Amino acid sequence: MEVYVMKKLSDAVMRVPPSGTMTILDAAKALERKGVSVIHLDVGEPHFDTPPEIKDAAIKALENGYTKYTPSRGILELRRAIISEYNSKYNLELSAEKNIIITPGAKFSVYAAILSILGFSEHAIILTPTWVSYWAPMAFVNAQIREVNVMLGSDNFEEKLKESVNRDTKLLIYNSPNNPTGKILSKNELKVIRDLCLDYDFFIIADEIYNFLTYDNRDFISILEFKEIQDRTVVINGFSKKYAMTGWRLGYAVASSFIIDQMVKIQQAATTCPTSFIQFGALAAFNNREKVEHYVNMMKKAYQENRDLVISLLSEIEGVMYYPPEGAFYIFPDISAYTTDSKKFVMKLLEEKHVSTTPGSVFGAGGEGHIRISFATTKEKLKMGLHKIKELINE
């Protein structure tokens, strides 16, 4: 009898790690299917609904027959609205025809940008701790990754970065305001990145999706303010966080035309284009700016109150240290006084106290010994969740 052995799957896909944030969420959902009530402080998802003007515009687009393909770069009206905002804010001369691509989620912008820049086994730097989804597309091209632990209020940012960059560095990627720490890179820190970029000739991907959300009158500085490296920079942004549109899946990238052109080819091959009526919905954020921004400001006020609340609650837990978030809607408390295994702690917290958080170890160098708490939820859930965390620690 002849025996057939199935050939193995792609080495590239086998290198891709599973999502660290979704793994714990799956475990929480499994508990909920058994009838257990779980307090979710895990996923970074606004608990607010999408502004009604955006929903109404998407419904109207559907009713008007906008259900066909759009240009792979996205509809021109939305590209013009976004680029106009960037040009006005940063005194730029970007083109809606050349310097932007709309994608099905900001995550796909990250994916397409990384694959457009990095060749096989080329070198990249990730500033950590940071969002988990930068590692996966780099794994496809077997990138040589160096993680630099500077996103937790590091006092030696320049020294660490200079030690890590060399002539082989092709790409540096960072997220500011940062998920999971809430850190915002200062102008001086961005100047360090700019100077090294010019000295060592690498590209930069700046994930600025939380740029709208800062605390205590802290200014957000965009890498686009440094025009001398504009041609080497990709800025990632989207609609999920600011407009509570996580399920709509709509993001974008702003970059030089030679980078955008390559990203367009990847989008054409993978998804063709973003969903048509969703783009028209997003356009309402600009066409009804006053009403939508009023809604956004209401959300921002709630996030500020939640941030202050979670800081107050954490300060009551002896031995737990934290870096006060400057932006975004996460806090990253240090629990190393109680455990050196954040995954084990998070699973124990879920199984015994039915509170779902995210282990710090999944966010790269500097993450272990921490947990990520998302405070994009109600005050009641925050109070209950932090009370149960305190209970577990004090047992």
- Give the pLDDT confidence of 132-161 residue by residue, as tens digits: 999 999 999 999 999 999 999 777 999 999
**CA 352 centroid distance within chain:** 29
Q: What is the pLDDT of residue 25?
A: 87
- Say how far apart CA 57 and CA 1 lie, in whole Å: 63
Q: What is the pLDDT of residue 18?
A: 82
Q: What is the pLDDT of residue 100?
A: 98
Q: What is the pLDDT of residue 71?
A: 98
Which residues make Cβ contacts (< 8 Å) with residue 300, sequence separation at least 6?
212, 213
pLDDT band, residue 7 (cuts 50/70/90)? confident
pLDDT-above-70 percentage for the chain: 99
Q: Do residues 291 and 87 touch, judged by C-beta distance below 8 A?
A: no
How do residues 38-63 score in pLDDT, each as one tens digit? Answer: 999 998 999 999 999 999 999 999 99
pLDDT band, residue 196 (cuts 50/70/90)? very high
- Say how far apart CA 133 and CA 279 lie, in whole Å: 24
pLDDT-above-90 percentage for the chain: 92
Q: What is the pLDDT of residue 3?
A: 67
Whether pTM exceeds 0.75: yes
Which residues make Cβ contacts (< 8 Å) with residue 389, sequence separation at least 6?
317, 349, 353, 355, 357
Q: What is the pLDDT of residue 19?
A: 82
The arithmetic mean of pLDDT across residues 176-195, rounded, is 98
Q: What is the pLDDT of residue 1?
A: 60
Asked whether residue 90 carries a pLDDT value surpassing 80, the answer given is: yes
- Say how far apart CA 8 and CA 275 lie, in whole Å: 34
What does pLDDT average to over the chain? 96
Which residues make Cβ contacts (< 8 Å) with residue 91, sequence separation at least 6?
none
Instruction: Give the residues across from 233 on adjacent strands.
Output: 204
Q: Retrieve residue 180's tokens.
A: 């999971």
Structural domains in the chain? 11-49+291-394 (3.90.1150.10), 69-288 (3.40.640.10)
Q: What is the pLDDT of residue 229?
A: 98
The arithmetic mean of pLDDT across residues 221-240, rounded, is 97
Amino acid in the structure at residue 125:
I
- Say how far apart CA 57 and CA 65 lie, in whole Å: 12
Q: What is the pLDDT of residue 369?
A: 97
Q: Do residues 52 and 294 touch, judged by C-beta distance below 8 A?
A: no
Q: What is the pLDDT of residue 60?
A: 98
